[in-house]
């Protein structure tokens, strides 16, 4: 299996923080929101929301869009999809390895 890409590494690092996962989930439910709006429904300040959104943006998980004087954020699923595919491949590789071990263990060669 190939090594994870920089995108996968960035996504996993960004999602390691529970508040960023919660923020991403809240943003996904709303579709699009400002940092101010998100701060009203999360137990952190607007400044903390902006810092978390910047990390999510660098990981490719959200996109900032300027609309007048506001910056609106929306979820970008591509990076998350690539990470999920990488994780699926990793799980499939481990399943094949475990199946091979099981076949060896159940074979008559141990007799």
For 94-107, the pLDDT digits (tens) are 888 888 888 888 88
Residues of the chain with pLDDT under 50: 1-3
Query: Is residue 65 in a domain?
Result: yes
Domain count, the chain: 1
Evaluate whether 94 touches 6 at the Cβ level (below 8 Å).
no
Evaluate whether 23 touches 53 at the Cβ level (below 8 Å).
yes
Query: Is residue 53 in a domain?
Result: yes
The residue behind tokens 């400044």 is 47
For 24-36, write each residue's pLDDT tens digit.
999 999 999 999 9
Task: With 0.85 as the threshold, say if the pTM is over it.
Answer: no
Query: Is residue 67 in a domain?
Result: yes
Domain encompassing residue 45: 6-110
Query: Is residue 1 in a domain?
Result: no
Tell me which residue of 85, 71, 82, 86 sits closest to 35, measured CA to CA.
71
CATH number at residue 35: 1.10.10.10
């Amino acid at each position: 299996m190939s090594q994870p890409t920089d995108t996968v590494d960035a996504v996993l690092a960004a999602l390691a923080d529970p508040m960023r996962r919660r923020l991403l989930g809240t943003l996904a439910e709303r579709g699009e929101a400002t940092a101010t709006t998100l701060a009203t429904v999360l137990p952190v300040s607007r400044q903390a929301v902006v810092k978390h959104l910047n990390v999510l943006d660098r990981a490719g998980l959200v996109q900032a869009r300027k609309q007048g004087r506001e910056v609106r954020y929306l979820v970008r699923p591509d990076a998350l999809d690539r990470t999920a595919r990488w994780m699926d491949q990793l799980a499939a590789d481990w399943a094949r390895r475990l199946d091979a071990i099981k076949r060896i263990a159940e074979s008559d060669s141990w007799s």
